[in-house]
Structure 1
Amino acid sequence: APLWVGGAGGVRGRGESPRAPPRDRDRSIAVLRRAIELGVDHIDTAAFYFSSLRSANELINSALAPYADDLVIATKVGPFRDYSGEWGTPARPDQLRAHVEENLRQLGRDHLDLVYLRRTGQDSLAEHFGALAELREAGLIRHLGLSSIGLRHLQEAQAIAPVVSVQNQYGLDSPNAETDELLRTCGEQGVAFVPFFAIAGKGGAQGPSGSDGDEVLAVARAHGATPAQVRLAWTLRQGPHVLAIPGTGSPDHLVENVAAGALRLTDDEMARLDALHRPDE
């Protein structure tokens, strides 16, 4: 079974953007604790996931510290938001240590399990990834990943230091031939592939569109499942190296998201859904 990955519970609703309105603090903390009870052992977050009232990292710290030994917390660096919430100029390589240290401070940890370098449009990642590789050598980071990249960026980074995970937008109705190739390459190399917006699909940062096609609805009815569960189950069937990070602030959606990991789609259902994802094949 794949390692199930929980989102930065409580700050975002299902498929929501980090810019969404803040959730109730007590419910957010309850969702995080319930996620651990349900077996979630990998949480995705970032210091730039915050609102005027809530910080994902602070919620995780309050809910889960002291952390279980088998809990993996993955964070991202690169983008920058000031305290008003406005997005600023992405970090230079020499500023990444401060980003890492801010995540350490907020999470209350002496190391970070996994740090993604989120690409913010730059053509080459060598200098930025090299800076994170130095922090890995210094013991502040255990593992390195890449986010929002192409295959050439993975190859460039691997020449500098090991890459254990790639996090890109990927979903049932978000076809992208380059991302499909990247997913396959990661599987061949034993690199985890972690899609974001697997539920939101084309809605992306704006959240799910609320409209599901006939095929998705038919598969959902056949299993007594929700369309969101079908989308997650299809995502996880792309390979044993594929994980998912559905963020939610709803206890009910949390249970549904975790249950999607046990949803077994038939080969015929997969073929029908694959045709939606790759309509030209």
Structure 2
Amino acid sequence: MPTGTSSSDVTATGVARPGGSGRLAGHTVSRVGFGAMQLERLHGDRGAAVTLLRRAVELGVDHMDTAQFYGNGYVNKLIRDTIRPEDGVVVVTKIGADPDPDGPLPLRAAQRPEELRAGVEDNLRSLGVDQLPVVNLRRLDIGPGIQPAGDQVVDLDDQLAVMTAMRDEGKIGAFGLGSVTADGLRRAIPAGIACVQNAYSLVTRDDQDLVELCAEEGIAWVPFFPLGGAFPQMPKVAEEPAVRDVAASIGCTPSQLGLAWLLRHAPNVLLIPGTANPAHLEANVAAGAITLDDATLATLDAVPSRSADIRL
């Protein structure tokens, strides 16, 4: 164990958890995790993808986020073949969409209860496990992303019923929600919500009320697009002048600063920045060691928030 590190701050392999430790559905995990979506970009270089995943584990990452619809099962199979039980990695997956490679977008909504159940079964098969530790139901209440229509407009209570049933059956250990409104989350809390995944960053803080609600309820806040910029209309953290100035003054990159701000902003934040680049992976992990004093935090808190509700 690294000197001065408590047992809760090291992984099963004895590596310090980047960003320290957080809690997710009863598991202790690294606060800086890894989002696996961009591994799709390494479809033609499986060796590089395997090396990247192994490097993440070496760096202390023991929280990974994936989905069956990432590369139509390719990413899940990579994780299945690369991550070992002794690594102690909590693999979180999500449902609510299906691959649609021939459609106008690579994904289509899959919100009906029977589709959610099928999504869990697909993730179980491709990951090669008997139970998924955490499954996020990606609602489509808010952007950015695809918008539900027709029979894909499904009442939350119907979805919570099937998620709870699958938890009772032992297919999933816990479940969270994504792209959900504050009202939706309040309705769902009695069902036992482990985490929330909404788009959120230093420059897009529309959901601050959800961050605070989750903190009060002991629910992990796992922002996607933590640096913004996923769509042309979405503001980018690294382009904000105040962020660039502060980053230069403390010797880190603007992207690292954006991640460090999220960790400092709320104690229940868990990060899952994604990349297919080894250098970016190491930079993201290193962001967990950046400290921000109160004056620096106040400067960053004063950056104006701009909406990112982009519907496709």
Please indicate the TM-score interval, normalised by the length of the shorter structure.
Answer: 0.7 to 0.9
Aligned to 2:173: 142
Q: Distance in 1 between matches of 2:250 and 2:45?
A: 32
Q: Distance in 2 between matches of 1:213 and 1:120?
A: 28
**Which residues in structure 2 correspond to 1:152-167 (within 5 Å)?**
152-159=183-190, 161-167=191-197
Aligned to 1:189: 217
Q: Displacement, 1:88? A: 2.9
Structure with bigger RCO (C-alpha 8 Å, 6+ apart)? 1
1:70 matches 2:88:
yes
The residue identity in structure 1 corresponding to 2:208 is: D
Q: Distance in 2 between matches of 1:277 and 1:25?
A: 41
1:204 matches 2:204:
no
Specify whether residues 205 and 28 from structure 1 end up closer, same or farther in structure 2 by C-alpha distance, changes over 3 A only. farther
Aligned to 1:270: 297
1:118 matches 2:138:
yes
Aligned to 2:3: none
Specify whether residues 183 and 275 from structure 1 end up closer, same or farther in structure 2 by C-alpha distance, changes over 3 A only. same
Per-residue Cα deviation, 1:65-110 (whole angstroms, up to 9, x for no partner): x323631111111112235474334231122221101001111111
User: Do the aligned partners of 2:33 and 2:272 also contact (CA within 8 Å) in 1?
Assistant: yes
Aligned to 2:70: 49
**Which residues in structure 2 correspond to 1:8-47 (within 5 Å)?**
8-9=35-36, 11-12=37-38, 22=43, 24-47=45-68
Aligned mate of 2:80, from 36, 44, 61: 61
Q: Distance in 2 between matches of 1:240 and 1:48?
A: 30
Q: Distance in 2 between matches of 1:247 and 1:208?
A: 18
Stretches of structure 2 lacking an aligned partner (at least 5 in a row): 1-19, 22-29, 142-152, 307-312
Aligned mate of 1:247, from 254, 274, 287: 274
Aligned to 2:99: 81
Aligned to 2:198: 168
Aligned to 2:148: none
Specify whether residues 233 and 251 from structure 1 end up closer, same or farther in structure 2 by C-alpha distance, changes over 3 A only. same
User: Do the aligned partners of 1:191 and 1:241 also contact (CA within 8 Å) in 2?
Assistant: yes
Sequence identity of aligned pairs in percent? 41
Specify whether residues 239 and 248 from structure 1 end up closer, same or farther in structure 2 by C-alpha distance, changes over 3 A only. same
Tell me the matched-pair count.
265
Q: Displacement, 1:228? A: 0.7
Stretches of structure 1 lacking an aligned partner (at least 5 in a row): none
Q: Distance in 1 between matches of 2:254 and 2:88?
A: 31
Q: Displacement, 1:240? A: 1.3
Q: Distance in 2 between matches of 1:249 and 1:6?
A: 14
Specify whether residues 135 and 211 from structure 1 end up closer, same or farther in structure 2 by C-alpha distance, changes over 3 A only. closer
Q: Distance in 2 between matches of 1:245 and 1:146?
A: 15
Q: Distance in 1 between matches of 2:304 and 2:66?
A: 27
3-state SS of the aligned residue for 1:117? strand
Q: Displacement, 1:212? A: 1.7
Q: CA RMSD in A?
A: 2.3
Q: Distance in 1 between matches of 2:256 and 2:44?
A: 22
Aligned to 1:231: 258
Q: Displacement, 1:4? A: 2.4
User: Do the aligned partners of 2:140 and 2:180 also contact (CA within 8 Å) in 1?
Assistant: no
The residue identity in structure 2 corresponding to 1:194 is: V
Q: Displacement, 1:175? A: 3.0
